[in-house]
Amino acid sequence: MKQLALDLAGPPRSTLENFIAGRNGELLDNLRRLAAGGGGERFLYVWGRPGSGRSHLLKAVVEQLQYAGASATCIGCSADTRFAESHRGLDCVALDDVDRLDDEGQIGAFDLYNALRERSGALIASGAAPPVQLALREDLVTRLAWGLVYQVHALTDEDKARALADHAASRGVPLPREVCDYLLTRARRDMPSLLAAVDALDRYSLETRRPLTVPLARELLLAADRRGEAPAGRDLEARS
C-alpha cells in the first residue's frame, strides 16, 4: 500500500494527452497545433467555471512547447502579478486567471500582448468569463477578444465515467460502474487524478489478487488520505 499511496500524492502532470476532450475537441485541436508549432492562431482566450480544466490546458501547452525547445512560461495571475521585460522575448506566454490582475498588472498584460504580437510570439490567457464580461481595462479586453475565444466545457459525470471505463479497458481491466461512481464522489475530481486512481487500483488489485471493488477503492483512498497524499471530497471541484 505504501507505494500505491505515494502514487496518489498530488495531481499528475498536466498534458494535452491526458485531457479528456468531451465537448472541447476544436479547442484541443487548436492548442495541439500551437504546441506543435504547426501554425494556426497564436492568440487564444479560454474561459470556464472552476474545475473545467482551463489551467490544465495552459500548463500542458507550455510544457509541450518547453519540451520541444521553445521558450515558454505559464503565469498564475494575481493582484500583485507584474511582468518582466524578459517575458516579451519568449515564444509563448500563458496567463492563467488573467481577470485577477490589478490595474498595473493589466497595463503590463496589454503591453506584453502587443510585444508578443509584434515579434510573432503567442499568448494564451484564461479567465472565469468571456472577455466582454471581465472587469478589465477596455484595451486589454479588446486584445483578449482578438484571437480565438473558447469556453472550456466541464465534463459531466457520465463523460468521466465513460473515460475511466475506457482507460481501464485499455489496461485490460473491466471497471465496475459502482467503483467508478465511488471514485467520482470520493477521489480528486480532475481527470488526471481520476485516471491515476484507476491505475493505482489496477496495480493494487494485481498485487493483492483481489478484484476491483468499492472496498478495494475505499481501502486505497483511505490509506492515501491518512498520509495526507490524496485528499478526498467534492471540494476539489473548486480548483481550475
For residue 3, count other CB atoms closer than 10 A to its CB.
Answer: 10
Greater model confidence, 202 or 229: 202
- For residues 141 and 164, state if they share a domain: no
Of 85, 119, 151, the residue at which a domain comes to its end is 151
- For residues 162 and 78, state if they share a domain: no
Q: CA torsion angle for 218, 220, 226, 228 (degrees, to 10)?
A: -120
**59: containing domain:** 25-151
| pLDDT at 102 exceeding the cut of 90 | yes
Geometric angle at alpha carbon 10, from 7 and 15, rounded to 5°: 95
State the average pLDDT over residues 52-81. 96
Residue 105 domain-assigned?
yes
43 — pLDDT class (breaks 50, 70, 90): very high
CA dist 61 and 212 (Å) reads 34
Of 151, 177, 205, the residue at which a domain comes to its end is 151
Residue 17 domain-assigned?
no
Number of compact structural domains in the chain: 2
Return the minimum-mean-pLDDT range out of 49-63, 72-86, 134-148: 49-63
180 — pLDDT class (breaks 50, 70, 90): very high
pLDDT for res 17:
87
State the pTM of this model: 0.79
Residue 191 domain-assigned?
yes
Residue 111, domain CATH: 3.40.50.300
Of 91, 118, 151, the residue at which a domain comes to its end is 151
- For residues 40 and 133, state if they share a domain: yes
What is the gyration radius of the CA atoms in the chain, in angstroms? 20
